[in-house]
Amino acid sequence: EIVLTQSPATLSLSPGERATLSCRASQSVSSYLAWFQQIPGQPPRLLIYDASKRATGVPARFSGSGSGTDFSLTISSLEPEDFAFYYCQQRSIWPLTFGGGSKVEIK
Amino acid sequence: KLVESGGRVVRPGGSLRLSCVASGFIFDDYGMSWVRQAPGKGLEWVSGLNGQGGSKYYGDSVKGRFTISRDNAKNSLYLEMNSLRAEDTALYYCVRGFSVSYMDVWGKGTTVTVSS
């Protein structure tokens, strides 16, 4: 099973600041990695797929990068609605796995 | 749109069947998955199958206890859950996406509580 390790667990920032989240895989997943946003009380929302492609309707302030084992999600300038949980997920090798999540909170 | 049903309180060792009805897309064009989230915890992929239902995969924690299936004529996905344990307590999401496609459409979830 591929283990995805996300860091930091919690990121405390102010609106307008830049957020960078990390996801590290225990073995290569090529570019088969996605990022999801989850606001408490809501289902997850697909933000990024294939490591760097934005899903339909996702604002340009969200960007993804990386391949192999190291990936990152960057929010260029935090909006109030961006304070949420973020999860990475790989579809390279069975079973599909998610990272443990990172919380972006208001400082 | 995906709408789940079937979640309830069940005793340890019991069984339950979850259902999910899909609308707004050609159901049998897509693989489907079940993903769960225990209270206050992260996401865990449970099971998935391809568009025709011929390829099925399970997470290690449910293998041998849960069975995924679909009825394309009814635009429906199912999860048969047996030998339920306290650690199966979670919100279960029906999700469009499986192996070759990402999980891009999520239902609101149905809650399963395993407790005596």
Q: What is the mean pLDDT of chain A?
A: 97
For residue A15, say if its preceding peptide bond is cis, omega within 30 degrees of 0: no
Give the pLDDT confidence of B73-109 residue by residue, as tens digits.
999 999 999 999 999 999 999 999 987 789 999 999 9
Q: Where are the beta strands (DSSP E) in A1-107?
A: 4-7, 10-13, 19-25, 33-38, 45-49, 53-54, 62-67, 70-75, 85-90, 97-98, 102-106
The residue ranges of DSSP E strands in B16-115, in sequence order, are 16-22, 32-37, 43-49, 56-58, 66-71, 76-81, 90-96, 105-106, 110-114
ω into B39 cis (within 30 of 0): no
B window 30-49, beta carbon within 8 A of A: 33, 42-45, 48
As given in the structure block, the two tokens for residue B110 are 């149905």
Contact state of B60 with A95 under an 8 Å Cβ cutoff: yes
Which residue of chain B comes nearest to A3, CA vs CA?
B44
Q: Which of B48, B59, B104 sits opposite A46 (nearest CB)?
A: B104
Beta strand pairing status for A102-106 and A10-13? parallel
Please give the single-letter amino acid code of residue A60: A
Name the burial class of residue A17, with classes exposed (0-12), middle (13-18) and buried (19+) by CB atoms within 10 angstroms of its CB: middle
Partners of B3 on chain A (C-beta within 8 Å) are: none
Yes or no, beta carbons of B102 and A91 under 8 Å apart? yes
**Tens digit of pLDDT for each residue in A11-57?**
999 999 999 999 999 999 999 999 999 999 999 999 999 999 999 99
* A–B interface: beta-carbon pairs under 8 A: 53
